[in-house]
Amino acid sequence: MVVDQRSDDRLGEAHVDRVFHALADGTRRDIVRRVLDAEQSISDLARRYPMSMTAVQKHVAVLEGAGLVAKRRHGREQRVVAQMEAVRSAEALLDEYERLWRDRFDRMGEILAPET
Protein backbone atom coordinates (compact mmCIF):
# COMPACT_ATOMS: atom_id res chain seq x y z
CA MET A 1 0.00 0.00 0.00
CA VAL A 2 1.30 3.45 -0.89
CA VAL A 3 0.81 6.21 1.67
CA ASP A 4 0.94 9.89 0.73
CA GLN A 5 4.28 11.09 2.07
CA ARG A 6 3.79 14.86 1.94
CA SER A 7 4.37 15.17 5.68
CA ASP A 8 7.38 12.87 5.55
CA ASP A 9 8.87 15.07 2.83
CA ARG A 10 8.13 18.25 4.76
CA LEU A 11 9.49 16.98 8.08
CA GLY A 12 12.23 14.78 6.68
CA GLU A 13 11.69 11.04 6.71
CA ALA A 14 14.57 10.38 9.12
CA HIS A 15 13.20 12.99 11.51
CA VAL A 16 9.73 11.44 11.45
CA ASP A 17 11.29 8.05 12.20
CA ARG A 18 13.16 9.52 15.20
CA VAL A 19 9.99 11.18 16.52
CA PHE A 20 7.94 7.98 16.36
CA HIS A 21 10.79 5.89 17.76
CA ALA A 22 11.07 8.32 20.69
CA LEU A 23 7.33 8.30 21.32
CA ALA A 24 7.11 4.49 21.09
CA ASP A 25 8.33 4.18 24.68
CA GLY A 26 5.91 4.83 27.55
CA THR A 27 8.53 6.42 29.80
CA ARG A 28 9.53 8.86 27.08
CA ARG A 29 5.88 9.75 26.38
CA ASP A 30 5.46 10.41 30.09
CA ILE A 31 8.56 12.61 30.16
CA VAL A 32 7.19 14.64 27.24
CA ARG A 33 3.84 15.03 29.06
CA ARG A 34 5.60 16.21 32.21
CA VAL A 35 7.79 18.78 30.47
CA LEU A 36 4.85 20.04 28.43
CA ASP A 37 3.34 21.10 31.76
CA ALA A 38 6.55 22.68 33.07
CA GLU A 39 10.27 22.29 32.56
CA GLN A 40 11.85 19.74 34.87
CA SER A 41 15.35 18.94 36.01
CA ILE A 42 16.81 15.57 35.09
CA SER A 43 16.99 14.71 38.82
CA ASP A 44 13.29 15.62 39.29
CA LEU A 45 12.41 13.33 36.40
CA ALA A 46 14.63 10.53 37.70
CA ARG A 47 12.81 10.52 41.05
CA ARG A 48 9.55 9.68 39.27
CA TYR A 49 10.71 6.44 37.64
CA PRO A 50 12.00 3.13 39.03
CA MET A 51 15.28 3.44 37.12
CA SER A 52 18.67 5.03 37.45
CA MET A 53 19.46 8.65 36.68
CA THR A 54 21.59 7.37 33.78
CA ALA A 55 18.61 5.53 32.29
CA VAL A 56 16.47 8.69 32.51
CA GLN A 57 19.29 10.68 30.88
CA LYS A 58 19.32 8.16 28.02
CA HIS A 59 15.56 8.55 27.57
CA VAL A 60 15.94 12.33 27.53
CA ALA A 61 18.77 12.00 24.96
CA VAL A 62 16.49 10.02 22.64
CA LEU A 63 13.77 12.68 23.02
CA GLU A 64 16.34 15.40 22.41
CA GLY A 65 17.61 13.61 19.29
CA ALA A 66 14.05 13.61 17.96
CA GLY A 67 13.72 17.31 18.70
CA LEU A 68 10.86 16.78 21.17
CA VAL A 69 12.76 18.25 24.14
CA ALA A 70 15.83 20.36 24.75
CA LYS A 71 18.15 20.62 27.73
CA ARG A 72 19.34 23.89 29.18
CA ARG A 73 21.66 24.62 32.05
CA HIS A 74 20.29 26.34 35.13
CA GLY A 75 23.18 26.63 37.54
CA ARG A 76 24.39 23.10 38.22
CA GLU A 77 21.14 21.54 36.95
CA GLN A 78 20.17 20.44 33.51
CA ARG A 79 16.56 21.39 32.86
CA VAL A 80 14.42 19.64 30.24
CA VAL A 81 11.99 21.75 28.24
CA ALA A 82 9.46 20.73 25.60
CA GLN A 83 10.06 21.76 22.00
CA MET A 84 6.53 22.61 20.95
CA GLU A 85 7.28 22.84 17.22
CA ALA A 86 8.34 19.18 17.09
CA VAL A 87 5.35 18.11 19.20
CA ARG A 88 3.01 20.03 16.88
CA SER A 89 4.70 18.50 13.81
CA ALA A 90 4.10 15.00 15.17
CA GLU A 91 0.49 15.92 15.93
CA ALA A 92 0.01 17.32 12.41
CA LEU A 93 1.41 14.15 10.87
CA LEU A 94 -0.93 11.97 12.94
CA ASP A 95 -3.87 14.23 11.99
CA GLU A 96 -2.96 13.80 8.33
CA TYR A 97 -2.86 10.01 8.67
CA GLU A 98 -6.20 10.09 10.46
CA ARG A 99 -7.76 12.10 7.59
CA LEU A 100 -6.25 9.69 5.07
CA TRP A 101 -7.73 6.65 6.81
CA ARG A 102 -11.13 8.28 7.41
CA ASP A 103 -11.33 9.12 3.69
CA ARG A 104 -10.44 5.53 2.80
CA PHE A 105 -13.07 4.12 5.18
CA ASP A 106 -15.67 6.53 3.77
CA ARG A 107 -14.86 5.40 0.22
CA MET A 108 -14.99 1.76 1.31
CA GLY A 109 -18.42 2.37 2.81
CA GLU A 110 -19.61 3.90 -0.46
CA ILE A 111 -18.32 0.91 -2.41
CA LEU A 112 -19.91 -1.62 -0.07
CA ALA A 113 -23.22 0.21 0.38
CA PRO A 114 -26.13 -1.63 -1.22
CA GLU A 115 -27.50 0.11 -4.27
CA THR A 116 -31.00 1.43 -3.88
Q: Enumerate domains of the chain plus CATH numbers.
A: 12-112 (1.10.10.10)
* 104, pLDDT greater than 70: yes
- CA-closest candidate to residue 23, choices 86, 80, 81, 100: 86
pLDDT 10s digits, 19-71: 999 999 999 999 999 999 999 999 999 999 999 999 999 999 999 999 999 99
Q: Say if pTM beats, i.e. exceeds, 0.85.
A: no
- CA-closest candidate to residue 8, choices 64, 90, 87: 90
